Structure 1
Amino acid sequence: MTRNVAIVADRISWEERRLIEAAPELGLHVEWVNDESLCLGAPGAPSVQDFDALLVRSRSYTRGGLVATLAEAAGIPVLNSARAINACENKAVLRSVLSSAEIPVPDFRLVLSRRDFEKALDELGVPVVLKPIFGGMGKRVTLIRHTDTAQSVYDYVEDLGHAFEQACLVEPYLSGGSSVRCLVVGRDIVAAAEFASAGADWRSNAALGNRSSTLAYDPDVVKIVDAVVSELGAGIYGVDLFRTDDGYVVNEVNHAPAFRGVASVTGADIPTAVGSFVQELLS
């Protein structure tokens, strides 16, 4: 029996196209549903009743969490779970969740005001990284190397229009220009790559077109990713790690990860892995 699965997203990108193309051979019918058209509400609302599962890939963290929460209330299996999405969408919440589970994360300070920002600089020293609580793809992530420019940088944060945009983390600069991205499907790492900053841009992020290479098997990476999945539940994640002198730390966990960069460098068939996991979930 063919299972009907909705990819819930605000647009179709490379990843969504590959998932749709791979679906028929796995006994799935996958179609895109715009996250602006679901009109979810009470558990009996009809918008998702024709689907056996939802694969939530909204770029908007707010939309993804809301859709997952209401779809679960309607009895529809959701990947990832509402709990996982709500943890991953907020960098401060995620770090609190992981720290409580004794999973290592970078030292950080929550910054909600200039007073917070000044105190964070005093406690952590420079260089530090200033990053928004909400967001991805390396956007608005700023490296502050010198205290004499820090206040001017924060001026831009204060000029943002909404409090949720102004909420930031300040953390020590740890990566040295590289990071490890592990693509998890179910409970397993199906691909892992190291991304290094390229050219004048210090940020290491696949979305920025940085240099990349396949990461060899590393038991320390497996151990820390296993711990993340044990805490968040089986699902589809992009787990980003930094190396430190004390071992790996979890920088971020993306609940709707882009995987073109990891797939291109490793050759992993990620769409088939995702489809197989969905079938396993529904069996």
Structure 2
Amino acid sequence: MGRVRPVAVLASRVRYEEKRLFAALERREVPYVHIDTRRFSAELDGGPRAGGGVPAYAAALNREISLSRGMYASLLLEARGVPTVNRSEVIEVCGDKLRTSLALERAGIPVPRTAVALTPEAGAEAAEKLGFPVVIKPLAGSWGRLVAAVHDRAGAETVLEHRAALPSPQQHIVYLQELVDKPGRDIRVIVAGDEVIGATYRYGDGGWRTNAALGARSEPCPLTPELTEPALAAARAVGGGVLGVDLIEGPDGPLVLEVNHTVEFRGLQEAHGEAVDVADAIVTHVLSAAEQAGAIG
């Protein structure tokens, strides 16, 4: 019998989540290697290979926080036959809010009213047509950065004037969503494959944003079909994998805000305690992907 190939865990920053994942792998006696993507490389005509054309890893769990490094790392590993979670095309879709919105639209999933303008100058007009108040978001990014709620055209023009001065052409694309009157919270649902691992309410500090990175408080949220069905549908719409689906409670039911491809789960884990083991569920999904690919038996 040959050597058991390890699972590769890709991460340039080892946070609470990665430590939990390492511990879950160790509990299950699954060999793994931690790969810092800042030091990762692969020759296009060969590696990474274990020898004899066999992929070096049984599977890869991509936890890289850099969108570009994460996407290309998955792309390179997939090209070498390594089952990768999440796949490069999933990262590409989830890493771009417009691509995500289009995928959700094609799947018929309820979302807030959304508009896109291709220049900051056109953005104020698009915001007025959408109807104030609106939220202006960057196409790429997380943790609530560069997100602004504006309540009139003057406010939109001020924000967009700053956006126009940013050096990245992508920042000049204006992505707008209606500001939904939510009950001071949003909902994070974590999905692994076809399984919903758990959900939490996230409460802000009195502002309209409820990002964990901005200090939001997490509390357990019961799993009901009203939540699990759109969350699973949203995960399937972007290509599946291990994903964090963010929803808000609209007047006519839950609306999907976005889908996160490198989901942070500390808030959910601490809210649920021992009742849920997010890291173990993620490891189960990664091993299932490896088994389906014939990498382990």
Q: Fold match, TM over 0.5?
A: yes
Q: 1:125 aligns with which of 114, 127, 131?
A: 131
Q: 1:35 aligns with which of 37, 42, 61?
A: 37
C-alpha distance in structure 2 between counterparts of 1:11 and 1:140, whole Å: 22
Contact kept, 8 Å, 2:235 with 2:245, in 1: the verdict is no
**AA in 2 matched with 1:130:** I
C-alpha distance in structure 2 between counterparts of 1:144 and 1:234, whole Å: 33
Q: 1:190 aligns with which of 188, 197, 217?
A: 197
Instruction: State the number of aligned residues.
Output: 282
Which residue is equivalent to 1:60?
66
Once the two structures are TM-superposed, the CA of residue 41 in structure 1 deviates from its matched residue by 4.3
CA RMSD of aligned residues (A): 1.9
Which residue is equivalent to 1:270?
278
1:88-237 alignment runs, 5 A limit:
88-176=94-182, 177-199=184-206, 201-237=207-243
**AA in 2 matched with 1:207:** A
Kindly tell me: are residues 171 and 35 of structure 1, through their superposed partners in 2, closer, same or farther at Cα, counting changes over 3 Å? same
Kindly tell me: are residues 257 and 3 of structure 1, through their superposed partners in 2, closer, same or farther at Cα, counting changes over 3 Å? same
Consecutive unaligned residues of structure 2, counting only runs of 5 or more, are 292-297
Once the two structures are TM-superposed, the CA of residue 270 in structure 1 deviates from its matched residue by 0.8
Once the two structures are TM-superposed, the CA of residue 68 in structure 1 deviates from its matched residue by 1.3
C-alpha distance in structure 1 between counterparts of 2:210 and 2:74, whole Å: 30
Contact kept, 8 Å, 1:43 with 1:70, in 2: the verdict is no
C-alpha distance in structure 2 between counterparts of 1:82 and 1:59, whole Å: 14
Deviations 1:137-166 (A, max 9, x none): 111111112333221111211111111233
**AA in 2 matched with 1:272:** D
**AA in 2 matched with 1:254:** N
C-alpha distance in structure 2 between counterparts of 1:9 and 1:42, whole Å: 21
> Is 1:21 the equivalent of 2:23?
yes
Consecutive unaligned residues of structure 1, counting only runs of 5 or more, are none
Secondary structure, counterpart of 1:59 in structure 2: coil
**AA in 1 matched with 2:69:** R
Once the two structures are TM-superposed, the CA of residue 172 in structure 1 deviates from its matched residue by 0.6
Provide the TM-score with structure 2 as the length reference: 0.89
